[in-house]
Structures are given as structure tokens and as C-alpha cells.
Homo-oligomer: A and B are copies of this chain.
Amino acid sequence: MGIPNLQLNAEGRLKHFLTIDGFSRELLTEILDVAESFTGASKDTVKKVPLLRGKVICNLFFETSPRTRTSFEVAAKRLSADVLNLEIDSSAATLLDTLRNLEAMHLDMFVVRHQDSGAAHFIARHAAPRVSVINAGDGRHSHPTQAMLDMLTIRHHKGDFTGLRIAIVGDILHSRVARSQILALNSLGTSEVRLIAPRTLLPADARTLGVHLFHDLEQGIRDVDAIIILPLRKEWMRGTLLPSEQEYSRLYGLTEEKLKAAKEDAIVMHPGPINRGVELDSQVADGPSSVILQQVSFGIAIRMAVMSMAMGSKGAARR
């Protein structure tokens, strides 16, 4: 709290949400609590609340992502905000000129998706004081709302993080989600975070992340409480990194058979979209261990929580 943090205001409250890095366990827990307050008793619906009535939220997407955009749009509308969707060709104008112009239109919040790492930070650093910025994925760097919806899903099923063993499987190297997940899991006090991947898909600094490394799937998921499967993005796999998709699938694809190595009540997560039969078999994706669709549901609540907290409205739990 003493360290200046671009993401917090002078009172230590959430101002921007750019990365999990530097967030205390208390603040992450508060986000989870506020998000939970938006989910109904059935955990299956969210109600429309007037928290951001009169605010204009701009989905500023320099990279197409209908799923993420839709989730933020639904969350904003559930908070009664007005939403502006902008898909911008990043070559068309400088990031700063685009930001300055939109800011001048009295917009209150930017949800930024960009192919370059650091884009959301750049915008937050240059934004007017009254504006909040939410990172909806920047390059290989960070995707913090995705990580937080995963945390909410885990907490919903497993309770406290202390005592949990959680495995992340797949292309850690290129995954902005994995980076954010590892930071969040560690900050929330998870006993053991495991990364399972071929050596070529692990970042060089993997050993410094406070995790355990595995190159064998069944060994890695042994006795874990939750397995997070990462999608294999084919455009990154050509040539050198992997022998073949088939080979990857044989070694790291999660099947019902392999899943038996995990705890009996282990949950299986995936941020989507799933390459069925590659990193995840349909029997598992649609089976009783899968909580994949709940992740999508909790995504709305997490985005509502972060948006309302950044705008100074604490959500249902605090009113």
C-alpha cells in the first residue's frame, strides 16, 4: 500500500485494472467479494443495478475479440452504463491521439484490448484523472479480468485458496492469461501452483514465478484441486516449438482417462475457445468436472465488480 501503484488512487482504492501484479490479497479478495454480490442466490443470474447510470464506457478494441467484448458490454449494461463499441485499426492513428480525442468526448472508462504488451498501461498513464482504464488483454502481457473470473470460479467451488493445489496446462509461454493467473493464485495464498508444459512452451523465467514445473501431464495433475487448460493457438505453433498438434494432443491433451490422476472432485477450467480433441477432449469439456461455462458466467460478475470499483461504486455488497 505504501508503494505508489498506477492502479490505485491516493486512498489506495482501485482506479485502473491493468495487471494483477502488485495487488494485495486484500484487494483481490475485495474484488471477488464484490463480484459475488452481483451474482444471484442461484449463482446463475445477475441483476441490473443502477451503479453506473449516466456513465459512458468505451470498449476500445484494437484487436478483434467478440467474446471478451461481449462480456464487457453485458457487464457495463448490467451496471446501467451507456456503452460505446469502437474497433480501431491500430495503424490508423497514434494511440495517444485516439485516447485524447475520445477522452474529450467525456467518456468515463476505457476497456482496452490491444495486440501490444503495455498498451493499457500506456493509456492509463496518459489518461485524464477522471478516467479509468481496464485491461481486456494486451499482447502477451496480462489479462487480469480473465484471471480474476478464474479465481472466483475456484473460490466458488473450493473455498479458501490456502491448501489448494492448482495446475495450469499448456502454452504458458504465449499466454497473457497464465501470467495473470499465476500472480493471482500466489497473491491469494494458493499452496501450490504447477505449470505443465513442454520445455519449448515455458517462459525462460518460469522458475522465478513461484511455481512447480512439470513436463508430464499425469504427474503434474496428480492430486490437484483444479486444472486450468490453456488453448493451443495454432498460429504460434508452426515449425519450431512443437513437433505436431497430434503429438501435443497425445502428451498434453486432457482426456477422461488422464483426468483420473487428479483429485476426484477436481474441477477443469478453460478460458475458451476450446480446440476440442486437441488440448481438451469433449468428454471432459462437457463432463461433470468441467466448470467452463460457469467461468463465462462469473466473467460478467468480475467485470461488473472491477468496473464499479474503479468508478468508485463498491457494488451491492457495500451499499
On chain A, the number of residues with a Cβ less than 8 Å from chain B's Cβ atoms is: 41
Residue of B nearest to A273 (CB): B93
- CB-contacts of A169-193 with B (<8 A): none
Name which of A46, A82, A103, A105 has the most chain B CB atoms within 10 A of its CB: A105
Q: Does A150 contact B (CB under 8 A)?
A: no
Contact status B74-A105, CB under 8 Å: yes
Q: A44 contacts which chain B residues (CB < 8 A)?
A: 106
Q: A54-B47, A106-B46 are in contact. Are A67 and B101 (CB under 8 A)?
A: yes
User: Is A14's CB within 8 Å of the partner chain B?
Assistant: no
Closest to A104 in B: B296
A273 and B97: CB pair below 8 A?
A: yes
Q: Does A70 contact B (CB under 8 A)?
A: yes
Closest B-chain residue to A55, C-beta based? B48
Residue in B closest to A53 when the chains form the complex, CB atoms: B48
- Contact A66/B88 with A105-B299, A272-B101, A293-B104 known, Cβ cut-off 8 Å: yes
Question: Is A100 in the interface zone, CB < 8 Å from B?
Answer: yes
Judged by a CB distance under 8 angstroms, whether A1 is at the interface is: no
Q: Enumerate chain B residues within 8 angstroms of A74, measured Cβ to Cβ.
A: 56, 82, 84, 105-107
By the criterion CB–CB under 8 Å, are B45 and A105 in contact?
A: no
Q: Is the CB of B66 within 8 A of A296?
A: no
Q: Is A115 an interface residue (CB 8 A)?
A: no
Is A77 an interface residue, CB under 8 A from the partner? Answer: yes
Do A101 and B45 have beta carbons less than 8 Å apart? no
Question: Is the CB–CB distance between B296 and A101 below 8 Å?
Answer: yes
| A37-63 contacts to B (CB < 8 Å) | 44-48, 53-54, 56
A107: B residues at CB distance < 8 A: 74
Q: Which of A246-299 contact B (CB under 8 A)?
A: 272-274, 293-297, 299
Q: CB-CB contacts of A138-164 with B at 8 A, as 1s and 0s? A: 000000000000000000000000000
| A86 close to B (CB within 8 Å) | yes
Chain A positions 58 through 81: 1 when the CB is less than 8 Å from some CB of chain B, otherwise 0: 000000001100110110011000
Is B274 touching A105 in the complex (CB atoms < 8 A)? Answer: no
Q: Are A84 and B88 in contact (CB under 8 A)?
A: no
Q: Which residue of B lies closest to A49 (CB)?
A: B54
* Interface-central residue, A73, A102, A104, A296, by most chain B CB under 10 Å: A104
Whether, in the assembled complex, A300 has its beta carbon less than 8 Å from a beta carbon of chain B, the answer is yes
Find chain B residues with CB under 8 A from A102 CB: 70
Shortest Cβ gap from A270 to chain B (Å): 11
- Report 25 cross-chain contacts, Cβ distance below 8 Å, ordered by A residue: A44-B106, A45-B106, A45-B130, A47-B54, A48-B53, A48-B54, A56-B74, A56-B78, A66-B86, A67-B101, A70-B84, A70-B105, A74-B84, A74-B107, A93-B273, A97-B272, A97-B274, A101-B272, A101-B296, A103-B293, A104-B295, A104-B297, A105-B296, A105-B300, A106-B300
